[in-house]
Structure 1
């Protein structure tokens, strides 16, 4: 510990410029990712390991202050991930999978909510706390799934299904969270002897966020479609696409919309309205920039992993981890069976949707901030949720990409190594 503290003090004393820090992160994370290939693990595991080493837990090169200055990179990266997902959601292609995708999205999200809620309630006997943990459970981390798909150049029906599921389940997750949080708050208010007025208003908020995110994404997408048709070279396509993602992400931040849904909608409109050569041009340019974005995004994500928090996992964390994994996998299987999806989607899709990070931690922070106004019970819930979700996200972010790779390999959509 003394050696680590000495190294941290030495690094902080250097007062390194932010660009030098970004350069070191990019280079070191890149080569650590290369090392992961020798042990047959996805590169993003290496990116996160190096981020954790450079973060506050070890060297503190990526201190919390530096993380704050670089937070815009995370938002931009999520914007590009969402755009990539949208570009894979061709309506004609999705129609071939029938109702299966819709059944899967509904089933895996609600099963995760139900199983986690029941598990935490049986453990604690605290219904509001159980509802909140259940509400956070459906939230996924699409960046991890997309990174693995693109790294291994996966192609096939399972890959298409994964794009659709991780793209849309965050929207459904936000709605579920809004309902559950409103119900939990009404219980706490009643316990405090206050009125439960405003319950329906609270439940309307998540609907508004999702609808407005998709609406603004559609408007920006239509403008993007007009602009992109006028450009010819790949370089110009890249500039217009890059600028559009920046604008969409910025607008989403101003109005507190979902930047994932907003940018995903741009991709959906583009792939379903543009001539094939325009779509191909956008996709090719994205393929060139996504590796760099993934290195930066997952390197920074790793720096947020506070390794000192691992001992705080506790019994609630273990139950949450097991129940969420069980709910997602069983829900995906049930949805695929109900929708008569092909066998490999039934068997393997659940393994590809376990990642959880940014959105879930964001929801946990909302709980921590808002529930402090509901007395000691609310404070207890907020503390338990933020601690547990932060720690379990470390495990889900490491496990998720590995299980996604396993699923794609068993489905025959990436080659054997």
Structure 2
């Protein structure tokens, strides 16, 4: 599968869509604009045999950074995304085998530990570069622990490309998602309270 082609397709579609969207008569974008853009991108990616995940992500990033003239399409998507996310997680969860999850052991722990360490280190480095406290950077990194769609989507695509690794990739991504979705939001809420208290002090 052509990954660079996916990025190219996302850019090629995202630039004109970012400019056109929201310029319909009356200035009110229709929900069909957003759905049409996603379906067009995914369909063309499958037709061209490029990565549909990278194509759609790249298109979304491009549209978000070029459609500065309004925010309405993004609010429109907010109202319809949850059924698709629910279906996505149900289908992904159906691929999870509990015996496989139990057998992960060191690999699962390594993935979870590496992701936590990467978030903390990345946050600390970012804050130091703008002359802020490394401790605040670690808090920032820990606030980014929740993972969901992209991690699972990447694992699903990797499993298609490397079917011999499916028994490792999917349980690792899905199991870690459960852990991070349970731990991440409370950590985020705690860090937001600390940040708010520091600002008031």
> TM class, shorter-chain normalised?
0.7 to 0.9
Which residue is 1:408 aligned to?
A: 188
Instruction: Measure, in 1, the Cα distance between the counterparts of 2:15 and 2:153.
Output: 28
Which residue is 1:392 aligned to?
A: 172
Q: Select which of 130, 151, 161 maps to 1:366.
A: 161
- 1:261-276 correspondence to structure 2 within 5 Å: 261-276=54-69
Question: Structure 1 residues 294 and 342, CA, compared in 2 at 3 Å: closer, same or farther?
Answer: farther
Question: Structure 1 residues 338 and 226, CA, compared in 2 at 3 Å: closer, same or farther?
Answer: same
1:306 has 2:110 as partner: no
TM-score by length of 1: 0.39
CA shift digits 1:286-328 (9 cap, x unpaired): 1111222222222222222222323322444444443x33442
- 1:91-102 correspondence to structure 2 within 5 Å: none
Gap runs ≥5 in structure 1: 1-204, 369-381
Q: CA RMSD in A?
A: 3.1
Q: Select which of 137, 140, 154 maps to 1:348.
A: 140
Which residue is 1:146 aligned to?
A: none
CA shift digits 1:216-254 (9 cap, x unpaired): 2222123323354124365x5211211111000111223
1:259 has 2:52 as partner: yes
1:332 has 2:122 as partner: yes
Q: Select which of 10, 13, 16 maps to 1:220.
A: 13
Q: Is contact 1:309-1:391 (8 Å) kept?
A: yes
Q: Select which of 4, 14, 23 maps to 1:229.
A: 23
Residue aligned with 2:192, SS: coil
Question: Structure 1 residues 318 and 263, CA, compared in 2 at 3 Å: closer, same or farther?
Answer: closer
Which structure: larger Rg? 1
Deviation at 1:398, TM superposition (A): 0.6
Question: Structure 1 residues 351 and 325, CA, compared in 2 at 3 Å: closer, same or farther?
Answer: farther
Question: Structure 1 residues 326 and 399, CA, compared in 2 at 3 Å: closer, same or farther?
Answer: same
Q: Is contact 2:123-2:139 (8 Å) kept?
A: yes
CA shift digits 1:348-369 (9 cap, x unpaired): 324524634231343244234x
Gap runs ≥5 in structure 2: 197-201
Instruction: Measure, in 2, the Cα distance between the counterparts of 1:409 and 1:304.
Output: 31
Question: Structure 1 residues 337 and 248, CA, compared in 2 at 3 Å: closer, same or farther?
Answer: same
Q: Select which of 82, 86, 89 maps to 1:291.
A: 82
Aligned residues: 188
TM-score by length of 2: 0.73
Please identify runs of 4+ aligned residues in structure 1 that moved more than 6 A: none
- 1:2-41 correspondence to structure 2 within 5 Å: none
Instruction: Measure, in 2, the Cα distance between the counterparts of 1:255 and 1:350.
Output: 38
